[in-house]
């Protein structure tokens, strides 16, 4: 009887340990920039002691109640981001064009912080949790990321992409 090399099947085997963390006092505009700069759609929120207090995702920022309450304004209009050919100051002109419109509003209104927008219901798993358990939690909670935490401290993050990668690597063995 031959045994295949065992591929790890615990949360710690799938998680990314290099986690972008947000502070509750960070202005929401800056948090959105951080998510964009790191090409991620969400991040755990930790307090000054590094304890997990929430999670902020693109979905949290764009929830319908934010639009209804006026925190985010969705304006319809014909926005043209192009300039006439040969204009050497394209980037500045595009920004001026958008910001100068009467019906333009920033994506986020006000000086709110991450703490005001974050979701306090954080789906977590222990580093030793099985892949089956973490997948079940993602499915039942309808989330695309699970925070791997031990005693309230973030150890990593697992996204749906991490699970897909794990399945693909496992099926190739």
The pLDDT tens digits for 54-89 are: 999 988 887 655 555 555 554 444 444 444 444 444
The encoded tokens of residue 79 equal 């926005």
| pTM of the predicted model as reported, rounded to 2 decimal places | 0.68
Secondary structure (DSSP) of 65-133:
HHHHTTSS------------TT-TTHHHHHHHHHHT-TT---SS-S--BHHHHSBS---EE-TT-BHHH
CB-CB contact of 121 with 52 (8 Å)? no
- The structural architecture, per CATH, of the domain 11-72+107-171 is Roll (3.10)
Nearby residues of 116 by Cβ (< 8 Å), 6 or more positions away: 28
Domain boundaries in the chain?
Answer: 11-72+107-171, 75-106
Half-sphere exposure of 127 (CA within 13 A, CB side): 12
Q: Which residue has the tokens 């902020």?
A: 56
Q: Are 21 and 44 in contact (CB under 8 A)?
A: yes
122: confidence class by pLDDT, cuts 50, 70, 90:
very high
Better pLDDT: 64 or 38: 38
102 versus 114: the higher-pLDDT residue is 114
Please state, in angstroms and rounded to a whole number, the distance separating the CA atoms of residues 16 and 140: 22
Q: What is the pLDDT of residues 128-137, one digit of tens each?
A: 999 999 999 9
Residue 151: exposure state from Cβ atoms within 10 A (0-12, 13-18, ≥19)? exposed
Predicted local distance difference test score (pLDDT) of residue 67? 52
Per-chain mean pLDDT for the chain: 78
3-state secondary structure at position 159: strand
């Amino acid at each position: 009887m031959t045994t295949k090399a065992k591929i790890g099947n615990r949360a710690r085997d799938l998680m990314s340990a290099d986690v972008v963390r947000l502070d509750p006092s960070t202005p929401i505009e800056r948090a959105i920039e951080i998510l964009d700069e790191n090409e991620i759609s969400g991040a755990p929120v930790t307090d000054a002691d590094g304890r997990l207090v929430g999670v902020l995702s693109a979905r949290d920022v764009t929830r319908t109640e934010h639009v209804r309450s006026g925190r985010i304004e969705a304006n319809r209009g014909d926005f043209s981001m192009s300039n006439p050919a040969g204009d050497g100051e394209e980037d500045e002109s595009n920004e001026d064009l958008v910001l100068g419109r009467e019906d333009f509003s920033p994506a986020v209104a006000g000086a709110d912080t991450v703490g005001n927008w974050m979701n306090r219901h954080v789906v977590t798993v222990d580093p030793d949790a099985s892949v089956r358990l973490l997948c079940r939690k993602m499915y039942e909670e309808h989330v695309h990321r699970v925070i791997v935490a031990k005693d309230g401290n973030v150890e990593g993050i697992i996204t749906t992409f991490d699970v897909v990668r794990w399945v693909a690597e496992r099926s190739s063995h």
